[in-house]
Amino acid sequence: MTATPGVTSGRRGVAVVGAALADCGRLDDVTPYALHAQAARRALADSGLDRSVIDGVASAGLGTLAPAEVAEYLGLRPTWVDSTSVGGSTWEVMAAHAADAIAAGHADVVLLVYGPTARADVRAGRRTGNLSFGAGGPLQFEVPYGHSLIAKYAMAARRHMHEYGTTVEQLATVAVRARDAAALNPEAMFREPVTVDDVLAGPMIADPFTKLQCCLRSDGGAAVLLAAEPYVRDCRAAPVWVLGTGEHVSHTTMSEWRRCCWRRSRTYGTAGRLPSGCSAPVSTSRTRRCPSGTSPPSSTSKRARSSRALHSTTSVIIRGPSSRSTTAATYGVRVPKGGRSLRWTTDQV
């Protein structure tokens, strides 16, 4: 077995050992609980571990007491739970919390699981579209002026266009590339290719975003298993080691959106490394030693350096079966060629 992080620092190494999707797309006759169970079973099968070793559960968005209700439905009795809910970065934050708990010995194997029926619920009239996060608290001062959720993202995009000269054509390219990726995924709801012209010709939702630039409502689920180093040897597939994590929250109301760029020093600090060409100071208060023979990412894109969080962002540094470490961006993880890939999913496509 290759060297693992945590050994020299006195903290246990943590790895992603299983990942799976539940059925996805258009599911009118399936409950969210069933999707949670299906995703969990498949992730367990992917890992090769027995369900009896799971002592941690992380879940959000279902019921009143999400992790307790989900664990009860799955027949689990966890001694560690997490129900963090911070929007689209929820699952990366939960993965960070689970990694810390496992490294510190508070849990051995943690299941992260999610299974919404957002599309089916809207069609059946069980819920309406999420135009905003509500009108309570500080949000009451913005909602009367039309500050829907997509409008806030549109304002962020407009600010990026103002500061960096980004064009609507460049923004449309994001949707085009997403559809290109969907064409390669048999689980995707829409796989037909689109062009920049197609995107720009669509109905305007919130300037500069048109219909094809907005999130799809879909049904489905996913589960990920993180485990302590001693359990890795019993797993079926090669592990993906977690080297470091970091999280940041900025605001919910646009009036509190300050001109700041989140430095990823916390993330690299926990991993004990910096990307080449980066001079930001690294905090060592939560540093985990990395295995010998690994190297940091060769470069950091301008887009990543200048990104701002609308609500919350999380980065996770991982190491796949090959020797090079990579950085996970919000909503997904990229591993080196030849390594094992995985993706946390929400109801965004």
Q: DSSP string of 268-333?
A: HHHHT---TT-------TT--PPPTT-B--S---HHHHH---SSEEEEEEEE-SSSBEEEEPTT-B
C-alpha–C-alpha distance, residues 308 and 216, integer Å = 23
Place of tokens 């949707």: 175
Q: Six-digit token pair at 245?
A: 């994590």
Q: Six-digit token pair at 108?
A: 């051995």
Please name each of the domains of the chain with its CATH number: 14-119+219-328 (3.40.47.10), 131-213 (no CATH)
Q: Answer for the pair 347, 217: CB distance below 8 angstroms, yes or no.
A: yes
Q: Which of 282, 280, 263 is nearest to 271 (CA)?
A: 282
Task: Divide the 349 residues of the chain into consecutive groups of 10 and give the mean pLDDT of each group.
Answer: 50 94 87 93 95 95 88 95 90 94 96 88 76 75 80 90 96 96 89 96 95 88 95 91 87 72 52 56 37 37 34 52 40 36 31
Alpha helices in the chain (DSSP H): 32-47, 66-74, 90-103, 118-123, 149-164, 168-183, 196-201, 229-232, 265-271, 302-306
Q: Six-digit token pair at 119?
A: 């599309």
Amino acid in the structure at residue 28: D
pLDDT value, residue 324 = 41
Q: Which residues pair with 74 in a beta bridge?
A: none
Q: Provide φ and ψ at 66, rounded to 5°.
A: -50, -60
pLDDT value, residue 234 = 86
Distance of CA 259 to the CA centre of its chain: 24
